Amino acid sequence: MRTAALYVGLFGILLIVLSLRVSFVRRDARVALGDGDNELLRRRIRAHSNFVEFVPIALLLLMLAEHTGLGSLFIHLFGIVLLAGRISHAYGISQTNEVFIYRMVGTIATLAVIGLLSLYCIWAAL
């Protein structure tokens, strides 16, 4: 699972970046808990939360797909699409003047990867 491990590492770094973006806005806004009715903080929290909601299952599917024999080329393809999608979504949702296309592209990319890898894992199990 060396190829999937690369993406797990990259997503770990991205999680740290998203967490720090929340922390910096919290510090500047002096909000310890919740969003303090701060729109930028609310959006940064949602970018981080959405990442945490979707990425773990996507990475689990990516690792299982590689473990059951999906080739490295496909693991890279799914990993790159997922990474680009999550960056696009995080950028789009965290902007106070949101450009919705970034969020939409990120959502579609994420759900496509999860859906296709889910189908592959079901097929590989049968």
- What is the residue-level pLDDT of the chain in tens, covering all 126 positions? 799 999 999 999 999 999 999 999 999 999 999 999 999 999 999 999 999 999 999 999 999 999 999 999 999 999 999 999 999 999 999 998 988 999 999 999 999 999 999 999 999 999
The domain that holds 71 is classified in CATH as 1.20.120.550
What total number of domains does the chain contain? 1
Which residue is it, tokens 């970018």?
Answer: 47
d(Cα 96, Cα 40) in Å, to the nearest integer? Answer: 6
Which residue is it, tokens 């859906």?
Answer: 115
Hey, CA dihedral for 68, 69, 70, 71, is it positive or negative? positive
Angle at the Cα of 45 from the Cα atoms of 61 and 97, rounded to 5 degrees: 110
DSSP helix/strand/coil, 38: coil
Return the pLDDT at 1: 77
In which domain, by residue range, is 108 found? 2-125
Q: How many CB atoms lie within 10 A of CB 123?
A: 9
